[in-house]
Amino acid sequence: MTARTAHPMLPVADHDEQAQQRFVLALKQHVSANVTAGNHAVYNARVLPAFTKAEGRAPRNRHEVRRWMEREPYHQMWGSLMRLGQELMWDYILESVDRQLDDLVTLSTPKPGVGGTLRLDPGFEQPRYLALVDQHGQPGSYYTDTRADDVRAGAILDQGAAIYHFGKAGGAMVDARGRTLVQHVFDAYPDLEPRRILDLGCCVGAGTLPLPEFFPQAEVHAIDTGAPILRYAHARAEHLGRRVHFAQQSAESLDYPDNHFDLVTSMVVLHETSTAALPRIFAECMRVLRPGGVMVHLEVPVRYPDMDSLCEQVLRDWQTYYNDEPFWGRVCETDLVAMAVQTGFADAVQGYQTQTLDPQRGATGWPNPPTSRPGHWYIVSARKPKG
């Protein structure tokens, strides 16, 4: 099998597969850079005047605008290209992964020595809100086993993540989110020296691995609901020499004791959870954190209350309706600071953290910048009161 450059578990595309994947990357980049903006021209020239004439007022929210935008051929064409790029990405990656799956399963039994662990629950049932859709359109989502000791879902997602983010989320390692979260901890909680860390919804562990790298004194745990991505994440971490204890659990009902962790994190997880699940996850963060401990949630940099353009809100909300992200819109408008306060957290803050691959203590300040811009992630964080 071809040598891997990032880590041994990463599938390697052959010549034809590389050509396919480069094509879909170019297509997605073209749509993002050159086609998306045309929606604003359509909105300003056609939709807004027509809506105002028909209704006798300006539109009040993105939902009203979406219904009118979806009548426009240009917007329909844009949405079709967006979905086509997503489906082609998965199709091309599936071919590559399935060709190598036997080898990947063999590689997923790493040599001993790192000390991480994997704890799966054969009787685990996926939360209904996750089982109803294939997240991001990935066939079989993150939890479907196709064979014994399966790692297929993890390999698909790991190879697809770099394409999905245009290679700008940490290259083949796709660890920029984890490194950016570490920078937030350095900036907002410089006194925190965590001894135990829990990462919720770790997926393939790409964002998790910076935690043991930058907090080497900490015992790091990570949970997710999917067995195949956890097998992949565990093997990935072991091959990279990062000690992490993975477990199959729901963030709504953790089996860790009260007051156990100093830091609880998640990265782009909240927008994949239901409206009912979200407060339960915050409550579990409160329960398992020690007094004075910190929770940090990094999310997509889309906050509808911060966005003046209703057209831009509609474009961002495409994920909710057409990319198998049914809870995206609701989470992006939820006041997460208020939810943290209602849960009992203190000093809750939110803002946008500049993406970085090189976290430094005292390097960037917080928040940076105060509003969403390209190259930043939204973060909400808070402390559990000491008293």
pLDDT tens for each residue of 60-90 = 999 999 999 999 999 999 999 999 999 999 9
Predicted confidence (pLDDT) at residue 3 exceeds the cutoff of 60: no
Beta carbons of 153 and 138 less than 8 angstroms apart: yes
What pLDDT was estimated at residue 2? 44
Q: What's the full length of the chain, in residues?
A: 387
Does position 168 have pLDDT exceeding 90, yes or no?
no
Report, as an integer, the average pLDDT of 335-362. Answer: 95
Measured from the Cβ of residue 272, the count of other Cβ atoms closer than 10 Å reads 22
Dihedral (C-alpha) 140, 275, 327, 145: value to the nearest 10 degrees? -10
* pLDDT value at 161 more than 90: no
Q: What whole-number percentage of the chain has pLDDT above 70?
A: 98
Q: How far apart are CA 58 and CA 17, in angstroms?
A: 48
Lowest-confidence region among 151-155, 161-165, 246-250, 317-321: 161-165
**Distance, CA of 242 to CA of 182 (rounded, Å):** 16
pTM beyond 0.85: the answer is yes
pLDDT at residue 182 tops 50: yes
Pick the range with the lowest mean pLDDT from 25-34, 96-105, 162-171, 372-381.
162-171
Q: What is the pLDDT of residues 205-235, one digit of tens each?
A: 999 999 999 999 999 999 999 999 999 999 9
CATH 3.40.50.720 holds for 1-387: no
Instruction: List pLDDT tens digits, range 102-117.
Output: 999 999 987 778 899 9
Whether the CB-CB separation of 354 and 376 falls below 8 Å is answered with: yes
**Which tens digits make up the pLDDT trace of 278-327?**
999 999 999 999 999 999 999 999 999 989 999 999 999 999 999 999 99
- Averaged pLDDT score across all residues of the chain: 94
User: What b/e sequence results for 316-334 when a residue is b if at least 16 CB atoms lie within 10 Å of its CB, and e otherwise?
Assistant: bbbbbeebbbbbbbebbbb
Instruction: Provide the β-strand partners of residue 219.
Output: 196
> Closest by alpha carbon to 374, among 168, 202, 175, 99?
168
Backbone angles phi, psi at 34, to 5 degrees: -120, -25
Give the pLDDT confidence of 119-144 residue by residue, as tens digits: 999 999 999 999 999 999 999 999 99
Classify burial at 341, counting beta carbons within 10 Å of its beta carbon; exposed 0-12, middle 13-18, buried 19 or more: middle
- Contact at 8 Å (CB) between 90 and 138? yes
Residue of higher predicted confidence among 62 and 6: 62
pLDDT given for residue 1 in this prediction: 36
Query: Residue 373 has what pLDDT?
Result: 74
C-beta neighbour count of 246 within 10 angstroms = 27
Q: How far apart are CA 129 and CA 273, in angstroms?
A: 7
Q: Return the exposure string of 147-171: e unless at least 16 CB atoms fall within 10 Å of the residue's CB, then b.
A: eeebbbbbbbbbbbbbbbeeeebbe
- Lowest-pLDDT range, 34-43, 188-197, 363-372? 363-372
∠ CA 361-293-372, nearest 5°, is 55
In the predicted model, what is the mean pLDDT of residues 134-157? Answer: 95
Say if residue 370's pLDDT is above 90. no
